[in-house]
């Protein structure tokens, strides 16, 4: 049952920040995640602050230097369909096109997709788990087929977003404002692992808002892609996915960023694998070494060991597609 809350629709970011100063206020963008959480009692809100009237927070712009600027209220469908994003930031367009269903992509926003809460069935139901401030992660000894194989510990959720790993592979930053002012930080540093704090997924403090996503112009000749594996062909969250941004020079890998989805409590960057690959020519031995390195440190739970060969396969597939001229 949805409990009663106040609902406000401020017309500017500064007005929204004022509204958010009150304890128990929650940000509402498209509402596709927030309303489910409120209805299911995952958390409560005394006041819901809708951003829907703040037109400054909507839209996609390409700066003269090629930087992509996306307002957080831009829908996921708009991101997926944008011609410049499709051409130059393909991993993001692909990831956005694979989020949920057409209805959810039309209603859900990019800001909400980056800030959404996890889908763990213990977190989403009545269990007072670690993420809700309890002292038990029920996934450890329970139904854990869709849970993490990396970065667990106090909590084994997987981060649900498809666009976040793609944006991290593209070296995106987020612009945040709050009661203490504005800051810009790499999206990679926006996410929090359970070892830092098991009760939240991002560094956002109460009252803070994401007001922009900034993606640098890709280096000439670079490419990116996002591959998502899910349990069924229809809408579903990733069981595992891989975002890859790559630049090659004279047949060698000049730069690469690899970020996994669906396997860790935050988008999982494979920096050791990247280091192994940079400066190298791709061949079958290197691909095998990279796949080994990608799964080093994986700690599958009782029912999700299948994710280990899945990650290996994602790496083999992505590197296998790199031209070997
Ligand atoms: C059936 C279903 C299937 C789904 N499948 C996928 C999938 O395959 N892949 C995937 O990536 N996602 C999936 N999702 C998640 C969906 O993409 C998110 O619900 C959506 O992106 C959230 O966007 P929203 O605008 O509706 O956010 P809201 O529901 O409005 O907000 C989500 C959270 O983010 C906070 N928030 C929103 N905007 C901001 C902001 N600008 N600053 C600070 N905090 C903010 C809210 O307070 C709330 O906690 C699925 C959801 C459903 C219901």
Residue with tokens 């004022």: 18
Residue to substitute in 108, 205, 235 for testing ligand 1 pocket (most ligand atoms within 8 angstroms of CB): 108
- Best residue among 5, 16, 29 to mutate for probing ligand 1's pocket (most ligand atoms within 8 Å of CB) is 29
**pLDDT at residue 74, rounded to an integer:** 98
115 CB within 6 A, ligand 1: yes
**Ligand 1 pocket check: which of 53, 115, 243 to mutate, most ligand atoms within 8 Å of Cβ?**
115
Residue 273 pLDDT exceeds 70: yes
Confidence of residue 233 (pLDDT cuts 50, 70, 90): confident
d(CA 275, CA 99): 30
pLDDT at 316 (0 to 100): 98
27 CB-side CA count, 13 A:
28
- Taking 90 as the threshold, does the pLDDT of residue 325 lie above it? no
Q: Which atom of ligand 1 is nearest to the CA of 34?
A: 29
pLDDT given at position 90: 98
* pLDDT above 90: percentage of residues in the chain: 96
DSSP state of 260: E
- pLDDT, tens digit, 9 for 90 and up, residues 68-84: 999 999 999 999 999 99
Sheet containing strand 181-186, strands side by side: 60-62, 68-70, 209-215, 173-178, 181-186
Looking at the predicted structure, is the pLDDT value of residue 1 above 80? Answer: no
The response to whether residue 116 sits with its C-beta less than 6 Å from ligand 1 reads yes
Using a 6 Å cutoff on CB, does residue 109 contact ligand 1? yes
Q: How far, in Å, from the CA of 31 to the mean position of ligand 1?
A: 7
How far is C-alpha 260 from the geometric centre of its chain's CA atoms?
10
179-223: pLDDT as tens digits: 999 999 999 999 999 999 999 999 999 999 999 999 999 999 899
Range 8-16 average pLDDT: 98
Residue 203 CB less than 6 A away from ligand 1: no
The pLDDT of residue 19 is above 70: yes
**Residue 234: what pLDDT?**
84
Q: For the segment 276-321, what is each residue's pLDDT rounded down to a tens digit?
A: 999 999 999 999 999 999 999 999 999 999 999 999 999 999 999 9
């Amino acid at each position: 049952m949805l409990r009663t809350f106040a609902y406000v629709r401020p017309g500017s970011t500064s007005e929204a920040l004022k509204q958010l100063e009150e304890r128990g206020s929650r940000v509402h963008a498209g509402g596709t995640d927030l309303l489910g959480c409120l209805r299911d009692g995952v958390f409560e809100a005394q006041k819901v602050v809708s951003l829907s009237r703040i037109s400054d927070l909507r839209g996609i712009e390409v700066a003269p230097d090629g930087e992509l600027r996306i307002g957080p209220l831009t829908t996921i469908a708009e991101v997926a369909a944008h011609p410049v994003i499709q051409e130059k930031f393909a991993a993001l367009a692909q990831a956005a096109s694979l989020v949920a269903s057409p209805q959810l992509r039309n209603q859900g926003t990019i800001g909400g997709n980056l800030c959404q809460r996890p889908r763990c069935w213990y977190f989403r139901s009545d269990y007072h788990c670690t993420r809700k401030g309890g002292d038990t992660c029920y996934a450890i000894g329970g139904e854990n087929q869709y849970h993490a194989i990396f970065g667990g510990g106090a909590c084994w959720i997987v981060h649900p977003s498809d666009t976040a790993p793609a944006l991290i592979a593209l070296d995106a930053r987020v612009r945040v404002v709050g009661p203490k002012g504005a800051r810009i930080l790499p999206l990679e540093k926006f996410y929090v692992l359970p070892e830092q704090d098991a009760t939240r997924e991002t560094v956002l403090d109460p009252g803070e808002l994401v007001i922009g996503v900034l993606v640098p112009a890709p280096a000439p000749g670079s490419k990116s892609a996002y591959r998502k594996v899910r349990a069924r062909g229809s809408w579903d969250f990733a069981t595992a996915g891989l975002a890859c941004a790559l630049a090659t020079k004279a047949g060698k890998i000049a730069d690469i960023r690899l970020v996994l989805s669906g396997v860790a409590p935050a988008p999982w960057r494979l920096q050791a694998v990247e280091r192994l690959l940079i400066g190298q020519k791709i061949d079958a031995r290197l691909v095998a070494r990279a796949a080994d390195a990608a799964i080093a440190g994986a700690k599958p739970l009782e029912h999700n060991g299948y994710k280990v060969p899945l990650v290996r396969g994602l790496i083999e597939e992505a590197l296998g597609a790199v031209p070997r001229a």
